[in-house]
Amino acid sequence: NWLFSLFQVVHAHKPHFMALHCQEFGGKNYEASMSHVDKFVKELLSSDAMKDYNRARVYLDENYKSQEHFTALGSFYFLHESLKNIYQFDFKAKKYKKVTGKEIYSDTLESTPMLEKEKFPQDYFPECKWSRKGFIRTRWCITDCAFDLVNIHLFHDASNLIAWETSPSVYSGIRHKALGYVLDRIIDQRFEKVSYFVFGDFNFRLDAKAVVETLCAKATMQTIRAADTNEVVKLIFRESDNDRKVMLQLEKKLFDYFNQDVFRDNNGTALLEFDRELSVFKDRLYELDISFPPSYPYSEDSSQGKQYMNTRCPAWCDRILMSHSAKELILKSENDEKIVIYDHIGPNVCMGDHKPVFLSFRIAAGAGKPIANVHKCCVVQ
């Protein structure tokens, strides 16, 4: 289902250049499941849907035995046969190399000069001992159009109860720190500055306190504590009348709201006002308007493609963000045809607990260069 839904999008948009960023490769039980990854990669590379992509680069962080470095990130790049002269940056040699053939890199990516990979320091999220959060960065040049593509996975909310306590939550602050670290890293003085796209699982959450106060504005709250520690273990919000009907139950890993339609109706637009984590970075990052429902947490039951799990408040965790110079690249298209689409994949199909999101756009010839220096640039999607 996952691959079929992806191939449908590829067929519909026919990109010349395609970047696919995956997180948690091998799944949560990666030690047992990593053996399935090779089959997935082979199917992706050899499928009929991808037959016109004659060059590819695949970077898989599969080295789970190295807890110090393991990020479980997978970055795939496909080049259509019609696309000429595409180069990838060698961070060690500090020069571009022409991309030919198909190559797969896995296990220890630390020795691969064609990317930069970092796992966030342990002290960023000390309560999660084996966190796999980090980023992988690659740099590409299509004639004169140079850009960085960053695969990112930021920290999750460990407890709904803690997330609910403050606005913004402590977890929001941790993500803010980690994303700031990545942005500082990719524009530091070591390499020439280029436009960049950062996309993956940011784990951005809605402002939990504000959402609960809005959804349960007319409810009364019951607090349940553990008998031995007096620690709050559950919050129950009931309607004041209507037979004290339960509206929301909140536990560490339970967010059970009685009406999921609020997250789906009109693509959850009413809740976008609570999506506030990106506002801190408005001077550094740009995002197109969101017109798809929250991308997480979907049921992993294959028959429940549109159902959310009652584990977390649905949120737009999966995003495609860009520098303001990258925004200029994608919106300055040929003949003023603004063919830019930002959407999700597999709306009615089980794609796992996250729905993938995609951005499709065209870069005009000579985009990103001063008028005096316009060169014939490949059109790329």
CATH number, domain 1-203+266-380, options 3.40.630.40, 3.60.10.10, 3.40.50.2300, 3.30.70.260: 3.60.10.10
Alpha carbon dihedral 169, 175, 181, 183, in 10-degree steps, equals: -110
Residue 371 confidence (pLDDT): 43
Q: How confident is the model at residue 337 (pLDDT cuts 50, 70, 90)?
A: low
How many whole angstroms separate alpha carbon 310 and alpha carbon 15? 36
Segments of 31-133 assigned E as strands: 53-60, 74-80, 86-90, 95-98, 102-105, 116-119
102-105 sheet: strands from edge to edge: 17-22, 74-80, 53-60, 102-105
How many whole angstroms separate alpha carbon 201 and alpha carbon 182? 14
For residue 210, list its beta bridge partners: none
Q: What is the mean pLDDT of the chain?
A: 91
Over residues 24-42, mean pLDDT:
87
Q: Reduced to 3 states, what is the DSSP secondary structure of residue 5?
A: helix
Sign of CA dihedral 36, 37, 38, 41: positive
pLDDT in tens, 220-272: 999 999 999 999 999 999 998 878 999 999 999 999 999 999 999 999 999 99
* Residues near 192 by beta carbon (within 8 Å), at least 6 away in sequence: 146
pTM for this entry: 0.93
* Backbone φ and ψ of 315, nearest 5°: -155, 160
Reading the block at residue 340, the tokens are: 């830019």
Asked if 148 and 98 count as a contact pair (C-beta separation under 8 A), the reply is: no
How many whole angstroms separate alpha carbon 80 and alpha carbon 97? 17
Q: How confident is the model at residue 278 (pLDDT cuts 50, 70, 90)?
A: very high
How many whole angstroms separate alpha carbon 314 and alpha carbon 297? 6
Reading the block at residue 161, the tokens are: 């109860």
CA atoms within 13 A on the CB side of 265: 6
pLDDT in tens, 340-377: 999 999 999 999 999 999 999 988 766 666 543 434 44
- Tell me the domain boundaries of the chain: 1-203+266-380
What is the DSSP secondary structure assignment for residue 371, as one 8-state letter?
Answer: G
Q: How confident is the model at residue 336 (pLDDT cuts 50, 70, 90)?
A: low
Strands 195-201 and 145-153: parallel
Q: How far is CA 148 from CA 104, 284, 320, in A?
A: 19, 15, 13
How many whole angstroms separate alpha carbon 239 and alpha carbon 218? 6
For the cut 60, the answer to whether the pLDDT of residue 161 exceeds it is: yes
Task: Out of 119-123, 150-154, 237-241, 279-283, pick the least confident.
Answer: 119-123
297 preceded by cis ω (within 30°)?
yes
pLDDT in tens, 37-59: 999 999 999 999 999 999 999 99
